[in-house]
Amino acid sequence: MTIVINALITLLAFICMEIFSGLFHKYVMHGVLWRIHKTHHIKSKGNVEVNDLFSLTFGVIATAFVVGGAAEFDWRFWVGCGIIAYGAVYFVVHDVFIHHRIRWIENSTIPYLQALRRAHKAHHSYTDKDPGEEYGLLWIGKKYWR
């Protein structure tokens, strides 16, 4: 039973990260912290952006959860694992597949991945903090599925 509960905590943390990151992206990154996030919306030279501070911050938070709960493998450990899993998926989908910051996954014929790419392209069609669309990563609107 404990394994099931721990897996559910990890899955719930992963799902909560998708919800949290979409809201954080829309209201904070495109709000008061736009000065940092705009480095991601403009063409930059190289693979490092000031915007990467967000990923580093979430990585530190996830690590704190894992370390804080590691002695007894309590809920904090499993929440941290969910956040880390989301960060890994984010890295592969966003940084590798969509933005090609590492040349690994160039194209895909999978309709879901094509829809993700279209949604993200629509998001980046705006170079200012407002207006905007599609702030989440994995959950996207129907209009991108064609």
Please provide the average confidence, as pLDDT, over all residues in the chain.
90
- Count of other CB atoms within 10 angstroms of residue 143: 12
pLDDT at 113 over 70: yes
pLDDT value, residue 77: 98
Q: Which one-letter amino acid corresponds to residue 56?
A: L
pLDDT value, residue 46: 67
Mean pLDDT value across residues 127-140 = 82
Tell the residue number behind the tokens 């693979």, with chain if given. 47
Closest CA to 51 of 28, 35, 32, 27: 35
- The DSSP code for 15 is H
Mean pLDDT value across residues 77-98 = 94
Mean pLDDT value across residues 84-99 = 91
pLDDT value, residue 61: 97
Domain ranges of the chain: 2-105
What tens digit of pLDDT does each residue of 13-68 get? 999 999 999 999 999 999 999 999 988 888 766 678 899 999 999 999 999 999 99
Preceding omega of 131 cis (within 30 degrees of 0): yes
pLDDT value, residue 47: 75
